[in-house]
Amino acid sequence: MARVSTKQYPQPSINADVVASHGLSKEEYQTIVKILGREPNYTELGVFSVMWSEHCSYKSSKPHLKLLPTDGPAVLQGPGENAGIVDIGNGLAAVFKMESHNHPSFIEPYQGAATGVGGILRDIFTMGARPVASLNSLRFGGFDHPRTPYLLGGVVAGIGGYGNCVGVPTVGGELFFDESYNANILVNAFALGIAEKKRIFKGRASGVGNSLIYVGAKTGRDGIHGATMASEAFSAESEKRRPTVQVGDPFTEKLLLEACLELMKGDCLVGIQDMGAAGLTSSAVEMAARGESGVELDLSRVPLRERGMTPYEILLSESQERMLLVAKKGRESEVQRIFERWDLDAVVVGKVTRERKFRAVFDGAEVACIPIAALTSEAPVYNRPAERPQSQDELQKLDLEKIEEPKDLGAILKLLLDSPNVASKEWVYRQYDHFVRSNTVVMPGSDAAVIRIKGTAKGLAITVDGNSRYCYLDPYVGGILAVAEAARNLACVGARPLGLSDCLNFGSPERPDVMWQFSQVIQGMRDACITLGVPVVSGNVSFYNETDGVPIYPTPTVAMVGLLPKVERFVTPWFKSPGDMVVLLGRNREELGGSEYLKVVHGMVKGTPPWIDLRLERAVQHSCLKAIEKGIIRSAHDMSEGGLGVALAECSISGPEKAVGVRVELREMMRADARLFGESQSRIIVSLKGKDLSRLREIAAKEGAPMQVIGEVGGSHLVVHPLIRLAVDELKSIWSGSLERRLNKGLKG
């Protein structure tokens, strides 16, 4: 390490405008002065700015996140590390996490989405896991908004371009359109990897004198203050922030992945951390905090791809495909040889120290000296005011008697199948490689993706879900429903949940109404997780998703991972054979609040979300699971947007073979549109052989789940007597081509 001399490195002066431009309040700046016992220099101000940002510090969300259950029988690592880890047996572990890349993707859709994929993959292989699957949750504005086609095309291309090159299959996800995202899209990326339980690595800097080694790509000026930007609301000036968007190189990422996994086979490594948000600063600081140590960096040694970079720029750059690792003293050359073989930089840039400080030098001059605790455990935490808005009462008022029932329900079903929120997403996922590594068993388009765990008879199911309209109307219930639907999706393929990762996307935490939404969603998720037995093992909070003072809908996305003891027992949503019986697990209710039908047909987002009883939800899920495990069920499909009508259509038309008809009769006495298009929860449509009906009845009765036989598979039409009779080939044509037709129209326009 370079010795610290008495010479001073020239730094820009600091004034009130400079402090404000770093996203720090006057009060926070005074706290910094008090901590240091002096005025910070410009570089130190930058370090505090990124480490105290919402993106890195969780300063507004910490008090609420503590309420979520994080323990469970399978949990090996909960929140606090690069990713969560659950035990999947056979000496193996599943490592997974979801994160947001919202603001960068709006400013530069291709690179924003691509680097979101790259970043989440690094979080996974940093833990010693080989990534085996990716998913994404995407939210865009209305299709009539002029930027939506451009943003959609760029984001999808970025996800596919990066993931396909790295060789990690994108096996599923979700896509939703709503005007609330016109000026603030959401791009949430999820990745899962498989690791040996005995070879799991963590982001810790320990062992005084051990070397800090920078590995991977060189550092440039891209991404500087990306963490700070992610902690700010958008405005008309946001387009000018392109320099804060990182640029990714998937080919370098692939080399980095293989080099890291090779290194992890040996005995050189103490800790390792991705240089993600806040770059070298956050990786060094967070590793030191976890290791209860300090770090000293010589920034003159950092590999650079641009001349004249300042210490400030080096520390805050968010250039991609970089890692910081701690190697055992005397083993540095072994590390360097491995990375040189993969044509990657591996440079000793610092060391672990006893003094619990973050110290950085440049050209022999000290440019930063800050207590580690000041940047981590002692960073500001705010109990922000939370207040239910008065407008919520009016929002929840919905008088069904004042809503005219449509006469042609068949026309309504076709209209819903043509809605971009319901229509097939094939245009999106056919741009992704979902077969690479040959583990994929159930591809995109089902309730959940399924991948094979090689070397075992097991499989992992993965899904991502969340309905922001429900959270807008009632955030507590919306939080419950996000968790419940994700777990239901797993049940439909035959998997039992092991854990979840969440990405919580909200407006400004400085708004009491937003904090009320956030706190209510957390409470709902907590209650659902406890009742359904699903721990939260990792996640991310993304605040300041608003533009010119208008926030997005509160949008918690839930990615859930489940285990199939026998992967060959997986189930898909589409009907299999004529003559199979169609059964409804759960019960229909007369409710239309927050439904896709209400929005598409009546132009309304009002009412309350569907009622849910978590005990009933558990009973329905367990009935479906046990029946699948016993080999009774031939198809299973969750009911979500569009209700029973859309679910029946999807069961008929979503399969890889020719569409197959179904005849159904509904007995409930209620409005016809509510019967067909209401989105009542805790419902699953299953099909099975007639001879297995008695066995299913036994299972459902034992679990306490309502069950009724509603129809039979067969013919060329979807018939819901006496309401609908439509040719399934026509429905498939509408559903399968809708998204591409709209996109092409938008791009031409």
The strand order across the sheet containing 459-465 reads: 440-442, 449-452, 459-465, 555-564, 496-505, 536-542
Q: Given the residues 22, 64, 101, 103, select the one marked as catalytic.
A: 101
Bridge partners (DSSP) of residue 196 are 92
Which has the closest alpha carbon to 653: 485, 412, 418, 490?
Answer: 418
Environment class of residue 226 by beta-carbon count within 10 Å: exposed (0-12), middle (13-18) or buried (19+)? buried
- Helix (H/G/I), strand (E/B), else coil: 213: strand
Number of H helices, E strands in the chain: 26, 28
253: nearest Cα among 106, 434, 437, 114: 114
Local structure of 585: helix, strand or coil: strand
Candidate list 55, 103, 225, 622, residue with the active-site label:
55
User: What b/e string do you get for 592-608 counting C-beta neighbours within 10 Å, with b at 16 or more?
Assistant: bbbbbbbbbbeebbbbb
Closest to 382 measured CA to CA, from 82, 27, 741, 95: 27
| Catalytic status, residue 55 | yes
The reply to whether omega before 79 is within 30° of 0 (cis) is no
Residue with tokens 């008309």: 236
How far apart CA 392 and CA 299 sit, in angstroms, is 52
- Token couple for 148: 């939506």
- Helix 250-263 vs helix 148-166: crossing angle, to nearest 10: 40
d(CA 115, CA 304): 19
64 among known catalytic residues: no
DSSP SS3 for 657:
coil
DSSP state of 51: H
Which of 351, 260, 249 lies closest to 305 in space, CA to CA?
Answer: 249
Catalytic residues: 55, 101
